[in-house]
Amino acid sequence: MADYSINVERFRRFRSAALTLFLALAMMVIPSCAGAPTCAAGTQAYEGVCLSDMAVQYVVCTKDRGVNVTTKLDGKVSGTFKVVADAALQLGYEKSKQENTPVALQIVKDCMAIAKTASPPSDPERAQIAGFQQRADQALQDWQKNQVNETPSITRSRNSAKKGQKVIVISKKFWPNEMVDIMGHATLVAQVEADGNGSFSASVTIPQGAPPPSFDTTITAAGKSSAKSATAPFHIA
């Protein structure tokens, strides 16, 4: 009976050790599998996503130039060139609007041609390049039109004032909640924060350092984040 009890205890200890080892190995394997998906034929793993050959060429090109398309794949585990090109166009437009420059959209378009050149002539996805380049051209045109429509403007409560007098400056179409510098001639007269719509109204004082009376000058508002600016003529009375 004593030998039997010893053997049972040894078995329990062995089973406990084996279970502990199994759980430890499982914890090591599961994260590894999550970071390296099993990809279907014709795709390869890239940053946890299965992408076609041309999609990888395209993503690498845009990422090297500052437009990381994988951030816009919305949890997708696989993607063709169409999937990443759709995401790239969206990201490129957002970045161009945010940065106030068409550079991101131009990168998105240029990398399409680069991906096509780098892929073999037999790649069936090459046929999709032309259509996406046309969409990129349209996105660039839309961005340019929106830039014109979103150009800031200034309205003054008066067109003329003496040094030391107050003038109400009203402006709109800056970035939401950005800080805006207001200049009277060459002097910083106020810093204001635009509201959630990119608009503001501020009372400023014509500085003593303004030009002499009867001098024509300007009032300028310049966004510190957007680099947008608006200027209006002003007369020193």
Between 105 and 41, the higher pLDDT residue: 105
Neighbours of 41 (CB within 10 A): 4
Between 1 and 189, the higher pLDDT residue: 189
What is the fold of 153-236? Answer: Immunoglobulin-like (2.60.40)
Contacting residues for 68 by C-beta, under 8 A, at least 6 apart:
62, 91
pLDDT-based confidence at residue 15 (cuts at 50, 70, 90): low
Picking from 58, 78, 44, the residue whose alpha carbon sits closest to that of residue 118 is: 58
What residue segments make up the domains of the chain, in order of their start?
43-149, 153-236
Q: What is the DSSP string of 171-211?
A: EE-S-TT-EEEEEETTEEEEEEE--TTS-EEEEEE--TTSP
Residues 135-149 have pLDDT tens digits of 999 999 998 888 777
* Cβ–Cβ under 8 Å, residues 176 and 198: yes
Residues 42-89 have pLDDT tens digits of 888 888 888 899 999 999 999 999 999 888 886 666 678 999 999 999
